[in-house]
Amino acid sequence: MPRSARQGLTNPWQFPQEAENEQFVSPSGSDLPIRAEPHGRNEDPEYIFMTDRNKRFNDLNTYLRGIFGCRVQKITIDAGFTCPNRDGTLSTRGCIYCNARGSGTGAYAKGLSVTEQLVRGKEALFKRYKAKKFIAYFQSFSNTYAPLEKLRSLYEEALGTEDVVGLSIGTRPDCVDESVLDLLQGYAEDHLIWIEYGLQSAHDATLVLINRGHDVRCFTNAVAETRNRGIKICAHVILGLPNETRAHMLETAETIAQAGIDGVKLHLLYVIKGTKLESLYRQGHYKCLEQQEYADLICDFLERIPAEIVIQRLTGDPHRDELVAPSWSMRKTETLNLIKELLEKRDSWQGKFS
């Protein structure tokens, strides 16, 4: 999209009616396809939202279809990694919102190899979405936190799987070094490689409070070291962190806008069992965002993010059996529709104020 369109404060994400089926047939890539609840294609909340021709932001799957010309879907991989905030290097407590599962699917504990997880994921996603290409998403804990040869073995096992066209690697900004980036740079010559850095907040006081174990400068340094290597960079941000106001969260949006990254994932802070956050919540020391409040914040955030940054996620997917609060976080369709309605009501879009 020409920058002149954005400079004129027009919506760069609206397309003509005849482009609808071609441009927006792919839904938002579910990071957790195997544990997603079964439903028909047209009932998928992300499918409905992302195929809307009046979509007002730069979503992941339109981006992927533009590269590969077909439906591309992520498959979550649990490869048995840990985290320096769990293994005692920095702490044994982890972040206050993270439990011992670490966003994992449990596949590693069941003895499933990377290849087996990919094969199962491919079968499920072809059946559900007719996906033709796939990205292996190493999600659980810090997926660069291991000896280089172990990383090489796991990444190449994934890339050696038929129809896997790239990797997306979730990690901490303090868990990369030049050798890891050199490895990923080599893969980026022939594959789409994303590295996902957990920033969460652009405020050091918040990062201390949530026991993150690194500061904002660590994130900006990691981004600087990763850029110009052909590796795409995604940042994770959590809205609703303790003691943060709307002003804090929009300052994080401004930091993201200026960081030189390629994508962002936005998450609601929800309370799960077995975490320090659960204790704070039950003691009355933490209050979750309301659904309307969260939707408003998402719209505010999007308005400040440059249009070329790919929005990979608008809200998370809590495990139903682990969720303590808020209950509305399970109603994803409702939340996405509310965000859509708010953007339309405001006549707003991603990058409007960037």
Nearest Cα residue to 354 out of 277, 257, 213? 257
Q: Taking phi first (over 0 means left), then psi (-120 to 50 degrees means alpha), and beta for anything else, what does residue 274 get? A: left
351 half-sphere exposure, CB direction, 13 A CA radius: 22
All residues at 6 or more sequence positions from 151 whose CB lies less than 8 Å from its CB, including other chains: 144, 180, 183
Domain-embedded: residue 293: yes
Residue 81 DSSP class? -
Give mean pLDDT, residues 301-325. 96
Nearest Cα residue to 239 out of 163, 298, 199, 192? 298
Query: Could you read off the pLDDT of 225-273 as tens digits, one per residue?
Result: 999 999 999 999 999 999 999 999 999 999 999 999 999 999 999 999 9
Is the pLDDT at 95 greater than 60? The verdict is: yes
Residue 59 DSSP class? B
All residues at 6 or more sequence positions from 24 whose CB lies less than 8 Å from its CB, including other chains: 15, 50, 51, 52, 53, 55, 62
Q: Taking phi first (over 0 means left), then psi (-120 to 50 degrees means alpha), and beta for anything else, what does residue 37 get? A: beta
All residues at 6 or more sequence positions from 115 whose CB lies less than 8 Å from its CB, including other chains: 157, 158, 161
Q: What are phi and psi of 134, to 5 degrees?
A: -145, 150
Domain-embedded: residue 353: no
Provide the number of structural domains found in the chain: 1
Q: How far apart are the first and last CA of the chain?
A: 15
Instruction: State the pLDDT at residue 279.
Output: 97
CATH of the domain at 314: 3.80.30.20
Is the pLDDT at 353 greater than 80? The verdict is: yes
Query: Could you read off the pLDDT of 187-240 as tens digits, one per residue?
Result: 999 999 999 999 999 999 999 999 999 999 999 999 999 999 999 999 999 999
Domain-embedded: residue 257: yes
Domain-embedded: residue 352: no
Q: Residue 100 — very low, low, confident or very high, per pLDDT cuts 50/70/90?
A: confident
18: containing domain: 3-346
Tokens of 202: 């652009």
Gyration radius from the chain CA atoms? 19
Instruction: State the pLDDT at residue 12.
Output: 64
Domain-embedded: residue 179: yes
Domain-embedded: residue 79: yes
Give mean pLDDT, residues 285-292. 98
Determine the Cα–Cα distance for residues 254 and 277; give it in Å rounded to an integer. Answer: 26
Domain-embedded: residue 351: no
Share of the chain above pLDDT 90, in %: 81
All residues at 6 or more sequence positions from 229 whose CB lies less than 8 Å from its CB, including other chains: 181, 184, 185, 188
Is the pLDDT at 3 greater than 50? The verdict is: no
The sheet carrying 133-138 orders its strands as 72-77, 133-138, 164-171, 192-200, 232-239, 263-268, 310-313
Q: Helix crossing, 216-226 with 178-188: angle to 10°?
A: 40
Please provide the DSSP assignment of 273-336 as one string: TTSHHHHHHHTTS--PPPHHHHHHHHHHHHHTS-TTSEEEESS----TTTEEE-GGGG-HHHHH
Domain-embedded: residue 354: no
pTM of the entire predicted model: 0.88
